[in-house]
Every structure is written in C-alpha cells, then in structure tokens.
C-alpha cells in the first residue's frame, strides 16, 4: 500500500495549486523548463493527464508512447482560457485524490494495472505516479532555478520524496529495459535524504528487465550515491547526472548505467 504516497500527492497538489493561483498573465506565458512549453502548457499537461484518470472518456491515447502522446492535449488547451484549464486540474485532481484512497485496500491495492511504456504496477502505486509527475513539473519545470517562476519551493519532505523515489525505482526496470541489457554485474544505488535508502540494481533476469531490490550487495561493480531530490532531477534527464552523483568502484560501468536511466 502507499498511504504515504496518498498524503504526499495531496500535499504536492495543494502546493501546485497555491503557485498556480498566484500567477499573473505574464507568468503563465513564461517559458518552462520543458522544451517548447510555457508554464500554462505544463498546467495543460497535468490537467489533461489527471482528467483522463477520473474520466476514461477523455483519457489520452498513449499507444504511440507516453512522451509523444502528451503534445496533442496540451495543444488543444491553448485555445482555452487559463482559468478553465486550472479549474479542470483542480476538479480532476481532487476527484483523483479521493479515488486513489480506494486503491489502498485489497483487492484493488494488489491488482496489476498496465501503464503502457511505464510498465505494469499495483494499483496502490497510482498516487505515487501522479505525485512524481506533479513534483517534477512544479519544482523542475515551473519554479526557479530551472523554471521561470519565482516562488518559495514547497518542503522536500518524506511524504513527498519517499513515494516519488519508490515510483522511480519501480518504473526504472520497465522504462530502461533495452538500454540496461549490457548489465552483467550489480550496481549499488545509495539515495540520501528523507526519501532515500540503499538499493541494488541487478542484471536482467528471465523477464528481460533489471531487478531493483532494497539493500547493498557486496558484489556490486560500482556504487552510485545521490540525493533524493537530485535523483528526480538527473533520473528524468532534466539535468546531467554528473552534477548530482558520486561513483565508487568501476566508473566506466556506472557511467553506462547513468547514461541510460530516464524515468518519465
């Protein structure tokens, strides 16, 4: 179950709305850190995505791939008043928060849900998915220093960061399958901060995907150390990993791993 993810999503949603309701017309049109998107386009993205969760009739068709499929619903909302898009997000995300609570109890909690190129995961992780999405877009794409908006950053606390990192580690084997096929030795991943922990990425097994497990492994070829918030930044390839990690052990092997990791 992901009760902490539910709490974190509620807190990050509230922080996103606080920032959104404070923006001027000029700030809505400022460039975000998402290439080609303004701040209002980022709002359109999160609004369209969560709207599809609570109303399957408007769910985005992601058959062409998650990232490519995000452009059309954003473009459609450019003709709408930003107040309408903000209302769409506020209403849909509130309904989703209520719905996610129902997914924390069996049998739904353990029911596997296919999410296209994001992988297949227990439904209890759904609040983590949207917490991760909101956290990334608010802190990396909208707020300074990478975004254009000058507002105080919300807390980097456990309720936000632990479920965010949990989702990233759950998604990594699915999203990086082909790129990590080279692995023949484990790699340690030590994440510091309230959302951190020690993990080991093992080479692909019978299903063709690497396996991420808790704890250290004495046979790890290298150990990568990073912060929990930093992992969000470089793990989504928003910024180069070299600015955010240290490596002990086989640096060339670790570099091959780090060059491939991209969580979406």
Q: Tens of pLDDT along 33-79? A: 999 999 999 999 999 999 999 998 888 787 777 778 889 999 999 99
pTM for this model (two decimals): 0.95
Residue 207 has pLDDT above 90, yes or no: no
Confidence at 99, pLDDT banded by 50, 70, 90: very high
Q: What is the pLDDT of residues 145-158, one digit of tens each?
A: 999 999 999 999 99
What's the confidence (pLDDT) of residue 98?
95
What's the confidence (pLDDT) of residue 208?
92
Question: What average pLDDT does the segment 220-230 reach?
Answer: 98
All structural domains of the chain, each given as residue ranges with its CATH number in brackets, are 3-154 (1.20.120.450), 172-260 (3.30.1050.10)
Neighbours of 25 (CB within 10 A): 8
Confidence at 96, pLDDT banded by 50, 70, 90: very high
Q: How far from chain centre, in Å, is Cα 35?
A: 17
Q: What is the pLDDT of residues 175-200, one digit of tens each?
A: 999 999 999 999 999 999 999 999 99
Q: What is the pLDDT of residues 244-254, one digit of tens each?
A: 999 999 999 99
User: Contact, 243 vs 234, CB < 8 A?
Assistant: yes
**Tokens at 128, concatenated:** 């983590």
Average the pLDDT over each of 9-13, 18-22, 65-69, 238-242 and give the range with the smallest value: 65-69
Question: What average pLDDT does the segment 127-137 reach?
Answer: 97
Question: What average pLDDT does the segment 103-131 reach?
Answer: 95
User: Contact, 215 vs 202, CB < 8 A?
Assistant: no
Q: Looking at the chain, how many residues does it have?
A: 264
Torsion, Cα 23 24 28 30, to 10 degrees, reads -110
Residue 1 has pLDDT above 70, yes or no: no
Q: Percentage of the chain surpassing pLDDT 70?
A: 99
Residue 136 has pLDDT above 80, yes or no: yes
The maximal CA–CA distance of the chain, rounded, in angstroms, is 56
Pair type for strands 197-202 and 211-214: antiparallel
User: Contact, 220 vs 188, CB < 8 A?
Assistant: yes
């Amino acid at each position: 179950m992901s009760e902490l993810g539910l709490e974190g999503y509620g807190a990050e949603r509230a922080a996103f709305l606080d920032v959104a309701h404070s923006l001027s017309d000029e700030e809505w049109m400022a460039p975000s850190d998402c290439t080609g998107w303004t701040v209002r386009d980022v709002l359109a993205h999160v609004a369209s995505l969560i709207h599809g969760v609570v109303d399957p009739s408007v769910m985005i068709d992601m058959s062409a791939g998650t990232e490519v499929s995000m452009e059309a619903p954003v473009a459609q909302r450019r003709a709408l008043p930003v107040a309408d898009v903000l209302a769409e997000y506020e209403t849909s995300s509130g309904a989703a928060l209520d719905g996610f609570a129902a997914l924390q109890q069996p049998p739904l909690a353990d029911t596997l849900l296919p999410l296209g190129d994001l992988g297949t995961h227990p439904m209890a992780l759904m609040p983590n998915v949207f917490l991760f999405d909101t956290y990334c877009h608010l802190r990396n794409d909208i707020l300074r220093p990478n975004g254009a908006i000058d507002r105080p950053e919300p807390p980097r606390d456990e309720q936000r960061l632990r479920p965010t990192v949990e989702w990233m580690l759950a998604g990594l084997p699915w999203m990086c399958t082909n790129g990590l096929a080279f692995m023949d030795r484990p790699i340690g991943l030590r994440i510091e901060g309230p959302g951190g922990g020690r993990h080991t990425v093992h080479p692909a097994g019978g299903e063709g995907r690497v396996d991420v497990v808790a704890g250290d492994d004495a046979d790890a070829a290298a150990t990568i150390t990073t912060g929990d918030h930093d992992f969000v930044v470089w793990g989504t390839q928003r910024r180069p990993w070299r600015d955010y990690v240290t490596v002990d052990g086989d640096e060339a092997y670790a570099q091959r791993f780090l060059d491939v990791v991209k969580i979406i």
